[in-house]
């Protein structure tokens, strides 16, 4: 049984335990001593079973059982033992002797119901509060159970039979415990999490920049950025000052990125360069956000929020070393819009996070983004203002960067390949003269649009053909909030890149299910077979792409239908490909370690109480900000205690997966920008903090992000002139 299943099973047992204890009490009160005795025995057995499930869960990590071990199980144990000792013998006598009146006595009913309340505290606590158990919630829980017992006692006893002083004392104790717990809830919580690193020198995030900017070598481009927002004006930026020319693996030498005078830099000073790298060109794009009705391939029309009237928006393509310049205008998206370059480690000032790196672009305003195309691979862009709604409604598009030299990851591609667009490029596997078979390069973003699954803007099967022998690359992008499962039938293939990063030694795949997390990308590569149709299915039901050999190649064998791959085992990407050296690993010395326990519970989010998706028991903006210093090696432990999948996404950095559920990756090094933490899973990932800025660190199920699952990772010397409170 997986830990995720066990979490659900434990919850089920907990609910049953409470139900049987309460049922036993109710039956006793109704003088049904036989039923009461049977339920009592069942309750006792289930209570012991709870201890057993908790013990197994504890094997997966302390986080999964913390509140059970410290609070709810001891509470149940005490109440259960009291019930067994006080009510048990009487109940047995009542049932054996047929003395129904005995069963209805308070000495039987109250302990049984009391055990029921205590048992109920388990699932109620787990569902409403979750991780972690606090000094405040513990006493309140005990007081509530105590109060419920007193009330029950009061109701089932004849008033005269109660010893008044005892009752008064009990009420007073319950009240005191409850008040103490409530009081503790007001103890201020920490605002930052140092992750075990050295204490911060200062943290001025949230305060306006004071004009002392960094980057003495910066080029003055004051009026080129942030037009219409006014916020970036007057700042300088330091081109390529911070690892923009770095390697594709995300590792940079921990050089000293010295802050400017005073040691403080506003995020608005951390902008992209104004010139491409040597050999590159500047690629200019203009995108206008506007509402529009888009027509899907079936003719179906959907009301959308779009870039340039299209969903997905215009593809942004570039060759490694180019300068990408995107001028965003907002025509009429009233809630505002920005562009975030998902998975692309742009300088912080280009990251498109409203309230943190810029103000949202309102109708009539504009903002220009500039960054070097220095990561080859498949990426995407999307709005980050009310992103749950904005992305769902269509404010996203593809970003594909190809290599200048045509490396192995770049077998077939070139600028101009857009979402499900004509990507035939005529380039060969070696990047040599285009004499041989032209390749096919398709970018296929999956999205749920108006209730239907679309690839690009196709809500019907995409029919394409390719010449036998032609190299084919399919770039799968998940722009939804939940994972999608892909299967490819009709040809062996390789998963050559994940999240834009080439895998090392990816083996040939046949009958495999590919689970693509929200926000993630998989690049598949194969050689077009001569006499077979290749079929890409989404979620085992939607026929996404049907690729047939070009005419004249003889009759194509059928690839089957969309449902055929339903039983194929899911590929475990942590064990796929071959190991290779990494700049750091599980044995490295980490400067900071952060643990994020993901759960659900009641929390305050910006003043409003919310049944939130929580991190360490809190919701945005109350989750402590993680503070790092430039050059540090940082390790995250991400634990999912909830029953939802959380695709975790850190802006501005790719993380190296160290282990999942305690097992180190055994395949290719995995550099991800979005890792899918399923219920019960524990991921260990690491990254080098080499991209100074203020970064979002959040769940890419954007509905979860909207409900609190967002925090910030800040370099300690970077500040923002904006309100600093962006949550999604």
646's contact among Cu ion, ligand C2O, none, with CB below 5 to 8 A by partner kind, is Cu ion
Beta carbon of residue 131, minimum distance to Cu ion (angstroms, whole number): 14
Q: Which residues contact 466 (CB under 8 A, 6 or more apart)?
A: 440, 472, 528, 547, 548, 549, 550
CA-CA distance, 638 to 131, in Å (whole number)?
13
Closer to ligand C2O by Cβ: residue 382 or 447: 382
Radius of gyration of the chain (CA): 30
Of 532, 522, 495, whose CA–CA distance to 510 is shortest? 495
Contacts with ligand C2O, 312-341, as mask; x by CB under 6 A: ----------------------------x-
Q: Quick check: 202 and 192 in contact, CB under 8 A? A: no
User: Rounded to whole angstroms, how far apart are CA atoms 50 and 695?
Assistant: 41
Q: Closest by alpha carbon to 413, among 383, 444, 373, 440?
A: 440
* Helix 88-97, helix 106-128: angle, nearest 10: 130
- The partner in contact with residue 700, picked from ligand C2O, Cu ion, none with C-beta cut-offs of 5 to 8 angstroms by kind, is ligand C2O
Nearest approach in angstroms of CB 356 to ligand C2O is 10
Cα–Cα distance measured from residue 244 to residue 252, given in angstroms and rounded to the nearest whole number: 10
Which lies closer to Cu ion via its Cβ, residue 140 or residue 638? 638
Question: Binding of ligand C2O at residue 615 (CB under 6 A)?
Answer: no
CB closer to ligand C2O out of 60 and 356: 356
Tell whether residue 712 is a contact of ligand C2O (CB under 6 A).
no
Site for ligand C2O in 533-592 (CB under 6 A): none
Distances 245 to 275, 290, 581 between C-alpha atoms, Å: 12, 34, 21
**Coil, strand, or helix at residue 638?**
strand
Binding stretches for Cu ion (CB under 5 A): 646, 699, 701, 704
In the complex, minimum distance from the CB of residue 673 to ligand C2O, in angstroms, rounded to a whole number: 8
Helices H / strands E in the chain, number of each: 11, 34
With CB cut-offs between 5 and 8 Å by kind, which of Cu ion, ligand C2O, none does residue 427 bind? none
Contact 390, 415 (CB under 8 A): no
Give CA–CA dist 181/187, Å, rounded: 10
From start to end of 641-716, where are the E strands? 646-650, 655-660, 663-664, 671-672, 674-677, 682-688, 694-699, 710-715
Q: Pick one of ligand C2O, Cu ion, none as the site partner of residue 547 (Cβ within 5 to 8 A by kind).
A: none
Closest CA to 429 of 469, 378, 466, 376: 469
Of 82, 109, 106, 76, residue with least CA distance to 10: 76
How many CB atoms within 10 Å of residue 97?
10
Quote the least distance from Cβ 643 to Cu ion, whole Å: 11
First to last CA, the chain: 35
| CB nearer ligand C2O, residue 138 or residue 354 | 354
* Residue 133, both tokens: 């158990």
Q: Does 613 bind ligand C2O (CB under 6 A)?
A: no
Q: Which of Cu ion, ligand C2O, none has residue 641 at its interface (CB below 5 to 8 Å by kind)?
A: none
Q: Is 32 in the site for ligand C2O (CB under 6 A)?
A: no
What is the DSSP track for 368-408? EEEEE--S-EEEEEE--TTHHHHHHHT-EEEEEEE-SS--G
Distance CA 514, CA 454 (A): 17
Angstrom distance (rounded) from CA 692 to CA 238? 12
Note whether 276 binds ligand C2O by CB under 6 A: no
Judged by beta carbon distances under 5 to 8 A according to partner kind, the member of Cu ion, ligand C2O, none in contact with residue 657 is none
Q: 277 or 333, CB closer to ligand C2O?
A: 333
Q: Could you say which of ligand C2O, Cu ion, none residue 635 binds, taking C-beta under 5 to 8 angstroms by partner kind?
A: none
Is 370 near ligand C2O (CB under 6 A)? no
Place of tokens 């967002």: 710
Q: Does residue number 696 form part of the binding site for ligand C2O (CB under 6 A)?
A: yes
Residue closer to Cu ion (CB basis): 375 or 701: 701
**C-beta closer to ligand C2O: residue 257 or 342:** 342
Give 68 or 382: the residue with its C-beta nearer to ligand C2O: 382
Please, what is the minimum distance in Å from the beta carbon of residue 674 to ligand C2O? Answer: 8
Quick one: what does residue 382 bind among ligand C2O, Cu ion, none, with the CB cut-off 5 to 8 Å set by partner type? Answer: ligand C2O
Residue 651 binding target from ligand C2O, Cu ion, none, CB below 5 to 8 Å by type: ligand C2O
Q: Which stretch binds ligand C2O (CB under 6 A): 38-46, 429-437, 596-604, 693-701?
A: 693-701
In the bound complex, what is the minimum distance in angstroms from residue 418's beta carbon to ligand C2O?
19
Q: Which is nearer to Cu ion, 660 or 688 (CB)?
A: 660
Is 382 an interacting residue with respect to ligand C2O (CB under 6 A)?
yes
Contacts of 203 (CB under 8 A, 6+ apart): 192, 625, 627, 714, 716
CB of 383 to ligand C2O, least distance (A): 10
* Alpha-carbon gap, residue 293 to 525, rounded angstroms: 34
Q: Which is nearer to ligand C2O, 519 or 577 (CB)?
A: 519
Strand blocks (E) in 118-245: 192-193
Provide the minimum distance between the beta carbon of 380 and ligand C2O in the complex, in angstroms, as a whole number: 8
What is the 8-class DSSP label of residue 673?
Answer: S
Cα–Cα distance measured from residue 597 to residue 66, given in angstroms and rounded to the nearest whole number: 11
Question: In angstroms, what is the minimal distance from the CB of 447 to ligand C2O?
Answer: 13
* Residue written as token pair 């890792």: 675
Contact between 698 and ligand C2O per CB under 6 A: yes
In eight-state DSSP terms, residue 276 is P
Could you tell me where the DSSP H helices lie in 403-491? none
Question: Considering the complex, what minimum distance in angstroms separates the CB of residue 653 from ligand C2O?
Answer: 12
Contact 91, 108 (CB under 8 A): yes
Nearest distance from C-beta of residue 701 to Cu ion, angstroms: 4
Q: Nearest residue to ligand C2O, using CB?
A: 342
Of these partners, ligand C2O, Cu ion, none, which one is at the site of residue 704 (CB under 5 to 8 Å by kind)?
Answer: Cu ion
Q: In whole angstroms, how close is the CB of 703 to Cu ion at the nearest point?
A: 8
Distances (CA, A) of 372 to 213, 546, 656: 22, 35, 22
Map the footprint of ligand C2O across residues 336-365, applying CB under 6 A.
340, 342
Residue closer to ligand C2O (CB basis): 594 or 648: 648
Q: Which does 701 bind (CB under 5 to 8 A by kind): Cu ion, ligand C2O, none?
A: Cu ion
What three-state secondary structure class fits 220?
A: coil
Overall size of the chain counted in residues:
728
- Taking CB under 6 A as the criterion, which residues in 648-687 touch ligand C2O? 649, 651
Q: How many residues contact ligand C2O, by CB under 6 A?
A: 10
Residue 653 binding partner per list ligand C2O, Cu ion, none, with a CB distance cut-off of 5 to 8 Å that depends on partner kind:
none
- Under the binding rule (CB under 6 A), the answer on residue 519 touching ligand C2O is yes
User: Does residue 713 touch ligand C2O according to CB under 6 A?
Assistant: no
Supply the minimum distance, in Å, between the C-beta of residue 385 and ligand C2O: 11
Q: Which two tokens stand for residue 103?
A: 């069963």
List contacts with ligand C2O (CB under 6 A).
340, 342, 382, 384, 519, 649, 651, 696, 698, 700
């Amino acid at each position: 049984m997986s830990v995720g299943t066990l979490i659900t099973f434990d919850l089920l047992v907990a609910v049953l335990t409470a139900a049987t204890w309460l049922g036993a009490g109710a039956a006793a009160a109704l003088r049904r001593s036989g039923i009461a005795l049977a339920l009592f025995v069942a309750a006792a057995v289930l209570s012991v079973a709870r201890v057993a499930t908790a013990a197994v869960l504890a094997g997966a990590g302390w986080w999964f059982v913390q509140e059970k071990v410290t609070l709810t199980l001891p509470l149940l144990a005490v109440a259960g033992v009291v019930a067994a000792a006080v009510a048990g013998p009487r109940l047995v006598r009542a049932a054996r002797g047929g003395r129904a009146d005995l069963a209805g006595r308070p000495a039987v009913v109250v302990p049984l119901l009391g055990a029921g309340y205590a048992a109920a505290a388990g699932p109620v606590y787990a569902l409403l509060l979750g991780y972690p158990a606090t000094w405040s919630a513990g006493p309140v829980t005990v007081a509530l159970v105590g109060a419920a017992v007193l009330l029950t006692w009061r109701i089932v006893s004849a008033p005269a039979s109660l010893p008044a002083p005892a009752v008064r004392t009990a009420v007073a104790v319950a009240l005191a415990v409850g008040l103490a717990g409530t009081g503790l809830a007001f103890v201020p919580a920490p605002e930052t999490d140092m992750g075990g690193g050295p204490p911060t020198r200062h943290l001025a995030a949230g305060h306006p920049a004071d004009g002392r900017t960094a980057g003495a070598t910066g080029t003055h481009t004051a009026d080129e950025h942030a037009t219409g927002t006014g916020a970036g004006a007057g700042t300088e930026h330091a081109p390529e000052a911070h690892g923009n020319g770095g390697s594709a693996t995300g590792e940079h030498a921990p050089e000293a990125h010295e802050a400017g005078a005073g040691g403080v830099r506003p995020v608005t000073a951390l902008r992209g360069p104004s010139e491409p790298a040597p050999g590159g060109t500047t690629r200019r794009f203009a995108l206008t956000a506007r509402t529009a009705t888009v027509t899907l391939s079936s003719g179906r029309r959907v009301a959308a929020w779009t870039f340039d009237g299209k969903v997905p928006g215009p593809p942004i393509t570039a060759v490694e070393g180019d300068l990408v310049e995107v001028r965003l205008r907002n025509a009429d998206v009233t809630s505002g819009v920005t562009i975030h370059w998902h998975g692309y480690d742009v300088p912080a000032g280009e990251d498109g996070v409203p309230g943190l790196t810029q103000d949202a672009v309102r109708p009539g305003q504009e903002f220009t983004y500039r960054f070097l195309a220095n990561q080859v691979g498949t990426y995407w862009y999307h709005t980050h203002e009310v992103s749950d709604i904005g992305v769902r409604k269509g404010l996203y598009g593809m970003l594909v960067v190809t290599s200048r030299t045509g490396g192995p990851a770049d077998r077939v591609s070139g600028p101009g390949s857009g979402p499900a667009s004509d990507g035939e490029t005529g380039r060969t596997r070696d990047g040599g003269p285009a004499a041989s078979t032209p390749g096919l390069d398709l970018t296929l973003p999956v999205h749920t649009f108006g209730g239907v699954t679309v690839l690009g803007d196709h809500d019907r099967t995409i029919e394409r053909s390719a010449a036998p022998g032609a190299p084919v690359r399919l770039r799968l992008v998940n722009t939804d909030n939940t994972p999608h499962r892909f299967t490819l039938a009709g040809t062996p293939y390789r998963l050559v890149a994940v999240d834009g990063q080439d895998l090392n030694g990816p083996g040939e795949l046949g009958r495999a299910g590919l689970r693509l997390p929200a926000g993630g990308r998989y690049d598949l590569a194969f050689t077009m077979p001569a006499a077979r149709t290749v079929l890409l299915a989404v979620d085992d039901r939607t026929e996404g792409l049907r690729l047939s050999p070009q005419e004249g190649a003889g009759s194509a064998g059928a690839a089957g239908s969309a449902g055929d791959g339903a039983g194929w085992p899911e590929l475990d990407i942590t064990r796929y490909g071959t190991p290779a050296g990494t700049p750091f690993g599980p044995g490295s010395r980490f400067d900071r370690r952060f643990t994020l326990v993901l759960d659900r519970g009641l929390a305050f989010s910006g003043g409003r109480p919310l049944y939130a998706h929580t991190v360490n028991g809190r919701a945005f903006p109350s989750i402590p900000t993680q503070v790092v210093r430039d050059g540090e090696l940082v390790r995250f432990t991400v634990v999912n205690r909830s029953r939802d999948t959380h695709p975790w996404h850190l802006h501005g950095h790719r993380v190296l997966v160290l282990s999942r559920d305690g097992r180190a990756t055994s395949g290719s090094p995995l550099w991800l920008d979005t890792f899918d933490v399923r219920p019960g899973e524990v991921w260990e990932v690491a990254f080098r903090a080499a991209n100074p800025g203020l970064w979002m660190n959040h769940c890419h199920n954007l509905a979860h992000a909207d409900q609190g699952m967002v925090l910030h990772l800040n370099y300690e010397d970077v500040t923002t002139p904006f309100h600093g409170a962006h949550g999604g």
